[in-house]
Structure 1
Amino acid sequence: MSETVSRASSGISLHRINAMVLRYWYLLMSSWPRLLELVYWPALQVITWGFLQTYIAQTSGFFARAGGTLVGAVILWDILFRGQLGFSISFLEEMWARNLGNLMMSPLKPIEFLLSLMIMSLIRLAIGVIPMTLLALFFFGFNFYAIGLPLIAFFCNLIFMSWSVGVFASALVLRNGLGAESIVWTLMFAVMPLACIYYPVAVLPVWLQYVAWTLPATYVFEGMRSLLIDHVFRTELMLSALAINAILFTASFATFLALLRSAKHHGSLLSGGE
């Protein structure tokens, strides 16, 4: 009987994950500014860049032929950025409330904590991106969902990378306290130029292209341009991105667990201050 209880306690509990997701959901629903922020910035981005593309399309045959490339890139970038931010914000909620130590002393396992943050990331992402895609359709006639099945490959690779960055950034904040909070807001922007969101990899210097190809997002944006401009879905790009994501995902989880142990050892888990 004791062995059965031990095995049950060592597994992942869906009840604990669900409890954490409900906690973050109630926090989100209790604040209309939080909800407004999730919709406001994506909507502002797609409208601003969409009108820019409309102007360029009127003066450039290339953009007329590659209609939707810029708007599509904006939406995919927002998936990448908002996926990471949605994860990290929920983590920071615990740091701001100085509740992380309490959670880690509860039966909640670190893996369950991270899974609940990932689920909340998807919820936050849906609240922001779905209205964004509808605005793109209404204002610019760009049906993001018409991409079809390739959209699944694009989304999965971007969300996996966003989680990897989110886990890594959260680990640094966990170990170094809120003094390192700026990493959460800036880390994704540091990789933005190398992800080649609005231009092909060939634009970069040759030596920098090798660095760009280490990012899963680079493969996604190259694949999007190939699909929208040449109407070719490049499966090899998505498989390469998936392989790199597997490495990044594993490394980020290992980093989080290692820095969590370090934080416990140095007593910074309960302080969590500047």
Structure 2
Amino acid sequence: MRSLVANLELGHGLAWHRISAMVLRYWYLLLSSWPRLFELVYWPALQVITWGFLQSYVAQNAGFFARAGGTLIGAVILWDILFRGQLGFSISFLEEMWARNLGNLMMSPLKPLEFLIALMIMSLIRLAIGVVPMVVLAMTLFDFNLFGFGLPLGAFFCNLIFTSWALGIFVSGLVLRHGLGAESIVWSLMFGVMPLACVYYPVAVLPHWLQFVAWTLPPTYVFEGMRALLIDHQFRGDLMLWALGINVVLFVAAFISFLAMLNSARRHGSLIQSGE
């Protein structure tokens, strides 16, 4: 029976025991360093406190913002889900690069898709460690209940996490192909997306020509949907469907590009070197 479970396959030769082994490896690595755990909680807590007090000030001094003030702290939390989802994925990947272990993994029976699924699971674990205290602080200090969104929160979360994984897969492929010299893109790409995703303001604020670019990004639909929910008390299901459709395209494109860059790295020998 144990042998049967150990050899259980998840469609097309994917093995859960290999995926769970990789997740367990990253989990032990995370637990072995308290600074890693502390950082996961510290930055989200700092953000929610800073922006929460800003929201309190705006709500007390302007009628409109008093009505729509929750959009600020709501945007902060949703943005952190997007940012930390991508960062949690990429950090686990970079830890293999830093340990110069990626070549060993790619020569093992571990399949690229199994490796990516393990990174996605670790992304969720890291995200939970950082965001849960953030949500509790928002409820305790500023009386903002993220779960008050109800079922739309599920649509917001799924679209944001799918975008973060697509970007994580893409930047991991770039680092895989070009080495740790391209590591900075892991930290900078998401902040480049932030102004166009209209996290803290509506799309209408952007110049007309730039609005077309903004609407090509799935997070834009999520943040517009959040504002519609908080200000107009209306759930825009059409926006979520558009975001999901674009996410599917991004995810497939990111996976194909990752495989292409992995094959290129194998041909050029950069899997073994993986340096600057």
TM over 0.5: yes
2:201 match:
199
Q: Which amino acid aligns with 1:104?
A: M
1:174 CA drift (Å): 0.1
> Does the CA contact (< 8 Å) of 1:67 and 1:228 recur in 2?
no
- Partners of 2:224 and 2:272 lie apart in 1 by 44
Letter in 2 for 1:209: Q
Quote the Cα distance in structure 2 between the aligned partners of 1:85 and 1:62.
Answer: 34
What's the CA shift for 1:67?
3.5
Percent sequence identity is 77
State how far apart, in whole Å, the 1-side matches of 2:112 and 2:161 are. Answer: 20
**Which residues of 2 match residues 103-122 of structure 1 at below 5 A?**
103-122=105-124
Native 8 Å contact 2:100 2:274 kept in 1? yes
Cα 1:55–1:97 change in 2 (3 A) is same
Deviation at 1:8, TM superposition (A): 8.7
Distance 1:97 1:146, change over 3 A: same
Q: Distance in 2 between matches of 1:148 and 1:96?
A: 41
Deviation sequence 1:87-120 (CA, Å, 0-9, x none): 0000000000000000000000000000000000
- Equivalent positions of 1:249-268 (< 5 A) are 249-268=251-270
Matches within 5 A, 1:120-139: 120-139=122-141
Name the structure 1 match of 2:71: 69
1:233 equivalenced with 2:238 (yes/no)? no
Task: Tell me the distance in 1 between the aligned counterparts of 2:11 and 2:235.
Answer: 45
> In the alignment, residue 85 of structure 1 is paired with which amino acid?
L
Measured on the aligned residues, the alpha-carbon RMSD in Å equals 1.2
- TM-score, normalization by structure 1: 0.97
Letter matched to residue 137 of structure 2: L
Contact 2:10 2:16 in 1 (8 A): no
* Superposition misfits of 4+ residues, deviation over 4 angstroms: 7-10
TM-score by length of 2: 0.96
Paired residue for 1:100? Answer: 102
CA 119–212 in structure 1, closer or farther in 2 if over 3 Å, else same: same
| Cα separation, 1, equivalents of 2:69 and 2:140 | 15
Aligned length: 269
Question: What are structure 2's unaligned runs of at least 5 residues?
Answer: 1-6
Residue by residue over 1:149-183, the C-alpha shift from the partner in whole angstroms, topping out at 9 and shown as x without a partner, is 00000000000000000000000000000000000
Pick from 222, 236, 244: which aligns with 2:246? 244
Alignment equivalent of 1:21, drawn from 13, 20, 23 = 23
Distance of 1:24 and 1:186 partners within structure 2? 23
CA distance in 2 between partners of 1:118 and 1:240 (Å) = 23
Alpha-carbon distance in 1 for matches of 2:237, 2:69: 22
From the superposition, tell whether residues 230 and 268 of structure 1 become closer, same or farther in structure 2 (CA, over 3 Å): same
Where 1:252 maps in the other structure, the secondary structure is helix
**Letter of the aligned partner of 1:127 in structure 2?**
I
Structure 1 residue identity aligned to 2:57: Y
What letter corresponds to residue 136 of structure 1 in structure 2?
A
